[in-house]
Structure 1
Amino acid sequence: HQRRCREEIQEIIRDRKTLQWEDLGKMTYSTMCIRESLRLYPPVPGVSRQLSKPITFPDGRTLPEGSITAISIFLIHRNPAVWKDPLVFDPLRFSPENVSGRHSHAFLPFSAGMRNCIGQQEMKVLLALTLLRFELLPDPTKPPLKIPQIILRSKNGIHLFLKKIH
């Protein structure tokens, strides 16, 4: 996937030294890889809210106003009823034809609505500039130990080997 993203980025910028704003919309495969990474490892693994009004579910059960509700984005993104082979990294889940049949709230890496993240374009820039210069390889002796807190992070860091690209 990394090689394919790098090739896509190189094709977009051609003989220029860096990206331009218009290039970000052309990074289709790279964007699918970012989204699939965020599906498997959402930066915000869960959210909670206090209900401002009661909610009635289709089966008739209700939650009263003032209830604190919690939603596990981490588990939504791994729900086998929504995602075929949910633990497999498959960027094509985010191709236009695969997205069109999926509920809009099946993928919530930054929550939804007013609290949505504004840094999604910056991720593309960072990915492109990194992959143009380096190949990233995980350190198999130091796998990340996930800690779900307010944000998903690793207890022991994320250890990578960088191989400079000539």
Structure 2
Amino acid sequence: MLNAKAPGEDGNLVGLSDDIIFDQLITLGIAGSDTTANTLSWILYLLDKHPGIHRRVLQELANADITPDQPVSVKQANSLKYLTQVIKEILRMFPPVPALSKTCGKTCVLPGGYIAYEGMRGLINVWSLHHNEKVYPDAYSFNPDRFSEENAKSIPEGAWLPFSSGPRACLGMSVAMIEMRVVLARLLSKYEFPDGWRQRGHV
């Protein structure tokens, strides 16, 4: 970023301002890593507490020919449908950003007759949204099957918001999902958790 240049308004190449570089570092260093690390921690914790789900994940890794001694390809990572369900369920249960701030673009009437005026700021309680029993029965239980291809169709649009939505949605959603699949595939194929990260085959 320090060396990057792009045409400015006058057509000459210019570098990024210090403010833009600072904002990008915050995005990459905090929003793009801390949130993912927290999610991975919850996944490893809950897989340990739910051995049946853990076994299904391990079987899926084996079916995709993922082994401890070989890098995970993007093709292999994208084939892990059940692991993706696990990730989505953890993001529902423990959203890394539990609340989102939005600004009203134009005056409108919300359901229930409430008026939101242009310029007003609202706070979306993602945690409560993700634990709404009307949408997610038994919302505090860990159930990756909520996000199976068939069951996911019954989840209303906007009821799952770990990456926000609309024009201000997280730009790194696709990268984060691939990253988590690859990291989990590598870790789970090689180690047993949580007992000291024992290497598989050497217990």
Deviations 1:19-76 (A, max 9, x none): 2111122101111111111110111111001212112123332111111100011111
Give the secondary-structure state (helix, strand or coil) at the position aligned to 2:96.
Answer: coil
Task: Say whether 1:13 aligns with 2:65.
Answer: yes
Given the superposition, is the C-alpha separation of residues 55 and 162 from structure 1 closer, same or farther in structure 2, using an over 3 Å criterion? farther
- Whether contact under 8 Å (2:61, 2:80) holds in the other structure is yes
- Tell me the residue number matched to 1:163: 198
Q: 1:125 aligns with which of 182, 197, 201?
A: 182
TM-score, structure 2 length as denominator? 0.66
Partner of residue 105, structure 1 = 158
- Structure 2 distance, partners of 1:122, 1:23, is 12
The 10-residue stretch of structure 1 (31-40 or 107-116) with the greater mean CA deviation from structure 2: 107-116
1:87 corresponds, among 127, 140, 153, to 140
- Greater strand percent: which structure? 1
Question: Is the contact between residue 46 and residue 70 of structure 1 (CA under 8 Å) also seen in structure 2?
Answer: yes
Percentage of identical aligned residues: 31
**Within 5 Å, which residues of 2 pair with 1:21-32?**
21-32=74-85
Match of 1:64 in 2: 117
> Normalized per residue, which structure has more helix?
2
Alignment correspondent of 1:49: 102
CA contact (8 A) 2:66 2:76 kept: no
Amino acid aligned to 1:51: C
Q: Calculate the aligned-residue CA RMSD, in Å.
A: 1.8
Structure-2 residue corresponding to 1:4 = 56
Gaps of 5+ in 2: 1-52
SS, match of residue 197 in structure 2? strand
Contact 1:44 1:111 in 2 (8 A): no
Partner of 1:152: none
Whole-Å Cα distance in 2 between the matches of residues 42 and 14 of structure 1?
28
Uncovered stretches (5+) of structure 1, i.e. residues with no partner? 138-159
In structure 2, what is the Cα distance between the partners aligned to 1:4 and 1:50?
42
